[in-house]
Amino acid sequence: MTVQKPSIPKGTRDFPPGEMVRRNYIFDTVRSVFELYGYQPIETPAMENLSTLLGKYGEEGDRLLFKILNSGNYLKNTSHLSPVTIHDSQFTIHDLTQQIAEKGLRYDLTVPLARFVVQHQHELSFPFKRYQIQPVWRADRPQKGRYREFSQCDVDVIGSNSLLNEVELVQIIDDVFCRLKVPVVINLNHRKILSGIAESIGAADKLTDITMAIDKLEKVGLEKVNAELASRGLSKTAITKLQPVLELQGKIKEKKQFLEEFFSHSEVGKQGIEEICTVMKCLKELNIKNKFEFDARLARGLNYYTGTIIEIMALDTDIGSLCAGGRYDDLTGVFGLPGFSGVGISFGADRIYDVMMNLKLFPETLQSTTRVLFVNFGFEEERFCLKLISSIREAGIPAEIYPEAVKLKKQLDYANRKQIPFVVLAGKDEMAAGKVTLKNMETGEQETIPTINLTDQLR
Amino acid sequence: MTVQKPSIPKGTRDFPPGEMVRRNYIFDTVRSVFELYGYQPIETPAMENLSTLLGKYGEEGDRLLFKILNSGNYLKNTSHLSPVTIHDSQFTIHDLTQQIAEKGLRYDLTVPLARFVVQHQHELSFPFKRYQIQPVWRADRPQKGRYREFSQCDVDVIGSNSLLNEVELVQIIDDVFCRLKVPVVINLNHRKILSGIAESIGAADKLTDITMAIDKLEKVGLEKVNAELASRGLSKTAITKLQPVLELQGKIKEKKQFLEEFFSHSEVGKQGIEEICTVMKCLKELNIKNKFEFDARLARGLNYYTGTIIEIMALDTDIGSLCAGGRYDDLTGVFGLPGFSGVGISFGADRIYDVMMNLKLFPETLQSTTRVLFVNFGFEEERFCLKLISSIREAGIPAEIYPEAVKLKKQLDYANRKQIPFVVLAGKDEMAAGKVTLKNMETGEQETIPTINLTDQLR
């Protein structure tokens, strides 16, 4: 066989042990909080039918789906393909794609959830509180901090219109980031407030344009947003009317007062204000530890939220959004189950990882799994050690023996590289005395103790 | 939008909460044993370059790889495709596939491990003890118990020739199946014994044919195996000489005695015997709880093992192999790092799941995550409960409140369907008295207790 230089597809990553342990720390924390709030796990296949995925993420999303070639030997089995397409000079690969690819890799966890809920509706109890932690794939241009395979941790409630769910989701966000010690600010808005704004400036038909433009406010500044609004066809009058909203600052009370006036002719705007204030009021009573704010300008790129919009920004770094979500009415309608509202949030594990690395927030104790390495001095010593190791493992202490009787230095190097805190040395003398020498790899200290005390010493 | 009937690709599965909890029980058990023995986790991308995967699993394997269409809009960007291929009447989709698909879904965890070890060789400490629990994909014909997406739990040691690794892997197998309470038999063989057999019957060049035929012995019986051997070109003399091996029974001592004689002219056979006896002897000293046996006929379909071969069969069911593995010299040679031996085993989580369901081996306590549901009686009661729930969650007890003040029956039904063991009822009277009513959903008993005692009662 020819030798190949090993590599992986661009935008994907290997996770070596050190990273795995830290990533699992995030996943375990998130999972334990989800379960504390009564959410149950599900998983869905990596591959979905393209009919499930296409048209759900906009034109851009369709383009970014990874498509899977139908399996089987289509060389020998082309009868199901349209011969016109294949032999026609007007042949396009796009036509072919539609015929040879029926499956795609999941692009997020929300569309699979909607599909799952409809497909399993008779087995589920509603409101259905589920969480899902799985990778998703997007054929995005890879860049710093953006990958083609990355993990999402989603938590959603399906089939309940109560705002209590929004409150609970903010509690979950607060709890997760407190446990991870990541400082964040939780921003809240409501789609109906955005609708109210569009209505109140006389541009109800331009809601999408407005949200897409003001979503960039933080990034590009007021001037460029106004320029974009103009280029998207908003009248001068509308843009002028919008200015106080773009510059809206202050406490929730002041914002509320301003918007109630601003929405004097917008019922939908008033509804939005009322809902967001209900959520904020309940949160105030609940001892939320992170800062949470109502931000009337928060729009989010995705245009499918119909209720509350939630975004969590990392403080002290420029990494940005760590977690986002909101409410969408009629989540499952497209799959044949109308009238089911969904509200949920998605934690971006990779972004959270980057923030925690930047701010050095991972506990130092995460580093190694093995607690003790037994040095291998040869056949007889090996046999003596194997029995000791069994009893240590029975006590739940991770232990290993170096598999070969190589030079002591090499074995100790192995322990150091793997950050194993203790090493046991048991040569013929120790064996005869029923003892072992226990070496602390950090301090270098060592003492000879009876084998019977070893497990206790290692605890 | 048109309504779609929701479905998933054939051979794939959704995992609802009940199944997830049971699957996680298997994964958690396996993981904790792996870590107890000093193995560290890694993960690799779902997609590998096709150059990494092709040619590693035989012709059949190449055909069963799921291939991913290159991303981007190749309609507008066909310049990189050979125009001859596209417009030629000899056009084949196979040619096209090679140009439009450069990535495939991982088919197992062994080839990615080899690729990983070579790519990260300078970051790793050898012997490298790693475990990996991830799904793999094969475009196999779906059938009962065989899926196109399934999970493997692999544990391997790279870079050590010591037989101690084989011993440790059998200990791990024994430990895992003891914890899961799944009764198994651990079968061991050695590739060199198979080579010795082929050599000793004068058919050294027919080793692959022999192993492929005798691998079916258990399934199809002696007669059909002999017929297959003949059809694969084995001489009558060779088949006659092979008979005592195919019928070999008895204790390890008797088998050893027979084979030592049988291998009187086969050095490789003698080596195999010696190695397998070393492993068996060490295992005998180590209090292995499951039955383990040497079976000279164990061949396994895969032909790449060069040393020990391990297979674990479920007892008491007809599900068959739950776990298999062995040693392969020069695991990483194809990726440019020659001379690194690997030995490992792969647990089939889906098969283990099926056995545990068949034999009813999952603990009953696995069923639900939430311990207590607070009934929702309306706005004021809700606020009262939310604070209580916070303190219960702070004590680590999973708790939830029904998000809407619907009929009591509906709320209790929800608790029953989700198998929540306790329900708290707190109406205006209880609130005024600083008390709650705690209902045991299994017995139906209920008592009114001070709120301050609630957390302790739920523990």
Name the band, by pLDDT with cuts 50, 70 and 90, for residue A368: low
Here the tokens at position B340 are 């690194």
pLDDT digits 0-9 by tens, A2-30:
667 899 999 999 999 999 999 999 999 99
Closest to B104 measured CA to CA, from B153, B72, B69, B149? B69
Which residues in A lie closer than 8 A to residue B393 (C-beta atoms)?
A: 36-37, 175
Q: How many CB pairs (< 8 A) connect A and B?
A: 322
| Beta pairing, strands B435-440 & B446-450 | antiparallel
Name the band, by pLDDT with cuts 50, 70 and 90, for residue A301: low
- Quick check: A75 pLDDT over 50? no
Residues 125-184 of B with CB under 8 A from A: 125-127, 129-130, 135, 137, 139, 148-149, 157, 160-162, 164-165, 167-168, 171, 175
C-beta separation of B346 from B321 below 8 A: no
Name the band, by pLDDT with cuts 50, 70 and 90, for residue A71: confident
pLDDT of res. B66: 96
* Partner residue opposite B41 with nearest CB, options A20, A386, A413: A20
B335 touches chain A (CB under 8 A): yes
Q: What angle do CA B211, B217, B218 make, to 5 degrees?
A: 130
Q: Which residue has the higher pLDDT, B316 or B10?
A: B10
In eight-state DSSP terms, residue B315 is S
A393 touches chain B (CB under 8 A): yes
Distance between CA atoms of residues B158 and B156, nearest Å: 6
Name the band, by pLDDT with cuts 50, 70 and 90, for residue B79: very low
Residues 30-59 of B with CB under 8 A from A: 35-49, 51-52, 55
Here the tokens at position A453 are 């005390």
pLDDT digits 0-9 by tens, B279-293:
999 999 998 999 999
Share of chain B above pLDDT 70, in %: 92
Name the band, by pLDDT with cuts 50, 70 and 90, for residue B218: confident
Based on DSSP, count helices (H) and strands (E) in chain B, helices before strands: 19, 16
Residues in chain A: 459
Beta-sheet strand order (sheet of A372-374): A399-401, A372-374, A422-425, A435-440, A446-450
Here the tokens at position B123 are 């970051």
In eight-state DSSP terms, residue B361 is -
Name the band, by pLDDT with cuts 50, 70 and 90, for residue B440: very high
- How far, CA to CA in Å, does A134 sit from each of A21, A118, A189, A348, B286? 17, 20, 27, 11, 39
Name the band, by pLDDT with cuts 50, 70 and 90, for residue A65: very high
Distance between CA atoms of residues A30 and A154, nearest Å: 10
In eight-state DSSP terms, residue B235 is -
Here the tokens at position B27 are 């994964």
pLDDT digits 0-9 by tens, B376-420:
999 999 999 999 999 999 999 999 999 999 999 999 999 999 999
A456 touches chain B (CB under 8 A): no
Q: Of A327, A358, A389, which residue sits at a domain end?
A: A358
pLDDT, mean of residues B104-129: 96
Name the band, by pLDDT with cuts 50, 70 and 90, for residue B451: very high
Asked if residue A346 and residue A263 are part of one domain, the reply reads yes
Asked if residue A422 and residue A335 are part of one domain, the reply reads no
- Quick check: A73 pLDDT over 80? no
pLDDT of res. A111: 96
Residues 6+ apart with CB under 8 A from A52: A111, A112, A115, B4, B6, B7, B8
Distance between CA atoms of residues A180 and A22, nearest Å: 11
- Quick check: B368 pLDDT over 70? no
pLDDT of res. A302: 59
- Quick check: A93 pLDDT over 80? no
- Quick check: B220 pLDDT over 50? yes
Q: Give a yes or no: residue B313 inside a domain.
A: yes
Asked if residue A316 and residue A233 are part of one domain, the reply reads yes
pLDDT digits 0-9 by tens, A111-138:
999 999 999 999 999 999 999 999 999 9
- Quick check: B423 pLDDT over 50? yes
Residues 207-266 of A with CB under 8 A from B: none
pLDDT of res. A177: 98
Distance between CA atoms of residues B401 and B424, nearest Å: 9
Which residues in B lie closer than 8 A to residue A116 (C-beta atoms)?
A: 6, 14
Asked if residue A378 and residue A238 are part of one domain, the reply reads no
Q: Of B358, B380, B396, which residue sits at a domain end?
A: B358
Q: Give a yes or no: residue B175 inside a domain.
A: yes
pLDDT of res. A72: 57
pLDDT of res. B1: 53
- Quick check: A81 pLDDT over 80? no
Distance between CA atoms of residues A169 and B279, nearest Å: 54
- Quick check: B81 pLDDT over 70? no
A378 touches chain B (CB under 8 A): no
Which residues in B lie closer than 8 A to residue A135 (C-beta atoms)?
A: 46
The answer to whether B66 contacts A67, with C-beta atoms less than 8 Å apart, is no
* Amino acid letter for position A262: F
Asked if residue B373 and residue B350 are part of one domain, the reply reads no
Q: Of A358, A391, A406, which residue sits at a domain end?
A: A358
A5 touches chain B (CB under 8 A): yes
The ipTM, to two decimals, is: 0.92
Asked if residue B387 and residue B318 are part of one domain, the reply reads no
Mean model confidence pLDDT for chain A = 91
pLDDT, mean of residues B241-257: 92
pLDDT, mean of residues A369-384: 94
A82 touches chain B (CB under 8 A): no
Beta bridge partners of A134: A152
Asked if residue A310 and residue A161 are part of one domain, the reply reads yes
pLDDT of res. B160: 96
- Quick check: B94 pLDDT over 90? no
Range of the domain at B446: 368-458
pLDDT digits 0-9 by tens, B153-204:
999 999 999 999 999 999 999 999 999 999 999 999 999 999 999 999 999 9
The CATH number covering residue B236 comes to: 3.30.930.10
Asked if residue A374 and residue A296 are part of one domain, the reply reads no
DSSP element (H, E) containing B63? helix B58-64
Ranking A50-54, A57-61, A147-151, A198-202 by mean pLDDT, the lowest is: A57-61
pLDDT of res. A74: 47
B391 touches chain A (CB under 8 A): no
In eight-state DSSP terms, residue B54 is T
Measured torsion, CA atoms of residues A256, A259, A265, A270, in degrees rounded to the nearest 10: -40
Q: What is the sign, positive or negative, of the torsion defined by CA atoms of A139, A142, A144, A149?
A: positive
**Best of A368, A369, A384 to disrupt the B interface by mutation (most B CBs within 10 Å)?**
A369
pLDDT digits 0-9 by tens, A308-358:
999 999 998 888 899 999 999 888 998 999 989 999 999 999 999 999 999
- pTM, 2 dp: 0.92
**DSSP of B76-117, one letter per residue?**
S--TTS-HHHHH-TT--HHHHHHHHEEEEE---SHHHHHHHH
Q: Give a yes or no: residue B69 inside a domain.
A: no
The CATH number covering residue B385 comes to: 3.40.50.800
| Beta pairing, strands A435-440 & B40-41 | unpaired
Asked if residue B320 and residue B384 are part of one domain, the reply reads no
Q: Give a yes or no: residue A132 inside a domain.
A: no
C-beta separation of B317 from B358 below 8 A: yes
pLDDT of res. B112: 97
Count of domains observed in chain A: 2
pLDDT of res. B124: 93
pLDDT of res. A87: 41
pLDDT digits 0-9 by tens, A176-205:
999 999 999 999 999 999 999 999 999 999
Share of chain A above pLDDT 90, in %: 80
Q: Give a yes or no: residue B87 inside a domain.
A: no
C-beta separation of A309 from A193 below 8 A: no
Burial B193-230 (b: 16+ CB within 10 A, else e): bbbbbbbbbebeebbebbbbbbbebeeeeeeebbebbe
Asked if residue A296 and residue A385 are part of one domain, the reply reads no
pLDDT of res. B87: 41
- 3-state SS string for chain A: CCCCCCCCCCCCCCECHHHHHHHHHHHHHHHHHHHHCCCEECECCCEEEHHHHCCCCHHHHHHHCCEEECCCCCCCCCCCCCHHHHHCCCCCHHHHHHHHEEEEECCCCHHHHHHHHHHCCCCCCCCEEEEEEEEEECCCCCECCECCEEEEEEEEEECCCCCHHHHHHHHHHHHHHHHHCCCEEEEEEEHHHHHHHHHHCCCHHHHHHHHHHHCCHHHHCHHHHHHHHHHCCCCHHHHHHHHHHHCCCCCHHHHHHHHHHHCCCCHHHHHHHHHHHHHHHHHHCCCCCCEEEECCCCCCCCCCCCCEEEEEEECCCCCCEEEEEEEECCCCHHHCCCCCCEEEEEEEHHHHHHHHHHCCCCCHHHCCCCCEEECCCCHHHHHHHHHHHHHHHHCCCCEEECCCCCCHHHHHHHHHHCCCCEEEECCHHHHHHCEEEEEECCCCCEEEEEHHHHHHHHC
Ranking A59-68, A102-111, B1-10 by mean pLDDT, the lowest is: B1-10
Closest to A121 measured CA to CA, from B5, B114, B183? B5
Closest to A428 measured CA to CA, from A394, A364, A378, A366? A378
Q: Give a yes or no: residue B219 inside a domain.
A: yes
pLDDT, mean of residues B224-243: 95
Name the band, by pLDDT with cuts 50, 70 and 90, for residue B318: confident
Q: Give a yes or no: residue A4 inside a domain.
A: no
Asked if residue B343 and residue B424 are part of one domain, the reply reads no
Q: Give a yes or no: residue A243 inside a domain.
A: yes
Q: Which residue of A has its CA nearest to B24?
A: A41
Q: What angle do CA B185, B191, B197 make, to 5 degrees?
A: 105
Which residues in A lie closer than 8 A to residue B417 (C-beta atoms)?
A: 125
Asked if residue A373 and residue A350 are part of one domain, the reply reads no
